[in-house]
Structure 1
């Protein structure tokens, strides 16, 4: 059956296609959906499944990412991609036991209500969401601003379910967060592959120009528009190709990266974890394969499928898997994920990446013995093997850098002609790690400069 396509938008691994079907107020476009599944679903589907009496009965026998959404569910889904939500401030993922919380937005209702990462929501306002799609769960959790929602939660270590009554609020989610870490290392976190991600990434790179290294954080990024994945891939040097798509009954097609006016112009790391999915995995797979960046973290989620979304006149939408994506060279992603180049512990990805970026800059410096379990009020004594001229101390000569954070301002106290004490202006953070660097900018009493810089690693108890 031939159809006229009104509009076509590539996304999230999603294509949106609108069909002008005339529907009664209560009718579902069941026959049309059956034909769409026959024609475009990524795998062949038995007629025993296609003959079922409702669209949701059909889609629940497909893969977990193929669902039929009401107009409201669809709007909630799209708002999630664009980081525009009224809700409680959580990022969710489907789980066999309900809907799992994979991150909590700081200062949102969920954070204030002590909802935690790893919690599994089983009921919303008393209604079970076990076995339901994430879109269905979002439609219940979301609602009008200044209303309330009650969640029933299972938490590891708690024998009884926990009940939370939370207000719904407009949650302002920045899509890109950018800052300069200590040691002149640029950090950019991308939370979603949204419509404006390319423009925002370009601005972030411009604002951090002059960085000696780059860290791009895709942890907990569940995906977004497939065109945004092409755009973001284009910011990495030497990455001409973005991904490969394989649709049913079609030859594999390789899609190019978008040419960008700016690039990451130094050593570049990408952070991933088990909740990096879809478009995040597209970018991770391509930069790894084309050696444009080093991946840090854990193996990604393994959602290597593309969904098309078919919209109907009543506002309902069929989101259906129509293709699988691979790295440009054909490496699979679906159900296997993308493995990092450097495996780290959970929550240590940024710290390890920042550490390695700093060591690139400190090549040729001498490493001093590590200091472990130091107190938060630690002062550092630096003793030279010759008499020094401390009169004109260069402020840039000493750096104390929090790994995963910024530089800590320090003062310098002269003890004698060989010894100085480095005093942090603020107390160190419990459980954090630091790198103390002495650059070869000092001169001895004969006016000869230091031959070699030194550094040492510090962990705080």
Structure 2
């Protein structure tokens, strides 16, 4: 019970979670079953009193069964569960399952093993990430849905699952004893870039303590910043969102709740949590929902984290479970929620500060939080970052860095070093992009209508053994993709070096021929813009 303005507010454990079929084997869906009139009458009374919107009593009374009652709400998040079905639902929020201990995704042949949980029956049996489970207990999994496949692999604790696995060209059969597994909801590690990475899979009962333990360990590593990943996190408990929010926003209100009685703000649950002491980037996507969106909206309002990714799911409602007389559960929408500043979330979602588009948001975040060597300064959505130009120009980082540059120029500011000091970049087209990737370099030339089989040459200040030229000394990079064309070098007359691409250039493409500052044969680093004939 909770009092507000002298009125009773009925809340058990508020749930903020999109109801999905979890791919952690062991989660099961509910099955509707017949109920007596007393239970149906009880459910009608609960909806009449607590549903977020007022429903005419005549409509409620007209429902002859639970299906009709829920249909008149037109609310995908208000649902009826058997007692067992609801237990499975809450177990999935807490990553508690009864199965073999793997995380899966569907592939045409069956299910692909994405992760094997530590100390699980699957790990003990020898199941590996990348294995394809093609059969379980004699049932082929090819062409099934995730839920159908899971129903064949999961089962009661202590029962055997006969699993047929394809690994490369080989097949194996395992008899695996099912058991209850509690997988962590939070995982963390240090990245090579120097940033700390924390993934929150769901907002369960133990998530707060797991998060604190992971964070405390990573703080000892003195990271350059933190990347907190709530992509594909469907939500969980409102209380847990409040607990995690404390690490980001301290004692500020984390969410605005509205129901039929009015609205009020909730603050985080204050404990011994210490706020982040380094820059934080929060990763979101279209499957970040509910409790995830409470966190994302709050940190965006207070500018306590920079959000990278894509727009979140847009589920801005709170559900509470009501226990009916026969032990079944009515999960009912009782509130809508908004950001602390009142911004809507339901059917709207939370927009990222930097939209990653088709690029990897984790890689984008590493570039923003990595080594600050290099001259690219970025200001997006009022947040300042410095990006290492040398690292950004590497083939594996080029497209992510290019996305950052495009977003910064279109919605913020970006400046780089040049021979004339710092300059603001105003364009990301090929004629200007080289100044950003290679700050301080000079433009040697701009070549137009170059044939696909063109050879190049550069004049050196001294004799250079071409066998000593490294891949980062002189290189030819495709501006559109960041891929580099292998080059062959040969000494020519008058101190020149002939450069021959090992393959024809792409028709209509633009390349940069870069003589870097690591090349000892040139007095200054240069970029030649090469436009290939269409």
Do they fold alike, i.e. is TM over 0.5? yes
- Give the Cα separation in 2 of the matches to 1:361 and 1:45: 61
Secondary structure at the aligned position of 1:303 is classed as: coil
Task: Tell whether the 8 Å contact from 1:239 to 1:286 is kept in structure 2 after alignment.
Answer: no
Of structures 1 and 2, the one scoring higher in RCO (CA 8 A, sep 6+) is 1
- The answer as to 2:347 corresponding to 1:296 is no
- Give the Cα separation in 2 of the matches to 1:178 and 1:141: 28
In structure 2, the residue matched to 1:333 is 345
For residues 246-261 of structure 1, the aligned pairs below 5 Å read: 246-248=258-260, 250-259=261-270, 260-261=272-273
Q: Deviations over 1:283-329 (max 9, x none)?
A: 00000111000111111111110001001343211001011100011
Where structure 1 has 5 or more consecutive residues not aligned to the other structure, the ranges are 15-24, 93-100, 126-137, 151-165, 375-414, 424-430, 434-461
Task: Tell whether the 8 Å contact from 2:113 to 2:131 is kept in structure 1 after alignment.
Answer: no
Task: Tell whether the 8 Å contact from 1:245 to 1:323 is kept in structure 2 after alignment.
Answer: yes
Which of the pair is proportionally richer in helix?
Answer: 2
For residues 250-289 of structure 1, the aligned pairs below 5 Å read: 250-259=261-270, 260-289=272-301
Q: Deviations over 1:330-367 (max 9, x none)?
A: 11111111111111145711111111111557568873
For residues 91-102 of structure 1, the aligned pairs below 5 Å read: none
- Give the Cα separation in 2 of the matches to 1:191 and 1:84: 12
Secondary structure at the aligned position of 2:59 is classed as: helix
Normalising by structure 2, report the TM-score.
0.54
Relative to structure 1, is the Cα distance of residues 10 and 72 closer, same or farther in structure 2, using a 3 angstrom cutoff?
Answer: closer
In structure 2, the residue matched to 1:426 is none
Q: Deviations over 1:9-59 (max 9, x none)?
A: 433238xxxxxxxxxx96361111101111111123343354222123211
In structure 2, the residue matched to 1:353 is 365
Report the Cα offset of residue 420 of structure 1: 11
Secondary structure at the aligned position of 2:145 is classed as: strand
Secondary structure at the aligned position of 1:204 is classed as: helix
Normalising by structure 1, report the TM-score.
0.62
Relative to structure 1, is the Cα distance of residues 50 and 283 closer, same or farther in structure 2, using a 3 angstrom cutoff?
Answer: farther
- Give the Cα separation in 2 of the matches to 1:277 and 1:78: 16
Task: Tell whether the 8 Å contact from 1:13 to 1:225 is kept in structure 2 after alignment.
Answer: yes
2:115 paired residue among 90, 103, 106: 106
Report the Cα offset of residue 200 of structure 1: 1.4
- Give the Cα separation in 1 of the matches to 2:305 and 2:198: 14
- The answer as to 2:145 corresponding to 1:121 is yes
Alpha carbon RMSD of aligned pairs, Å? 4.0
Q: Deviations over 1:152-193 (max 9, x none)?
A: xxxxxxxxxxxxxx9966555221101111233111111111
Secondary structure at the aligned position of 1:252 is classed as: strand
- Give the Cα separation in 2 of the matches to 1:103 and 1:57: 38
Where structure 2 has 5 or more consecutive residues not aligned to the other structure, the ranges are 1-7, 18-33, 117-121, 135-142, 164-175, 377-386, 398-463, 473-480, 484-534
Question: How many residues of Structure 1 are paired with residues of Structure 2 in the alignment?
Answer: 330
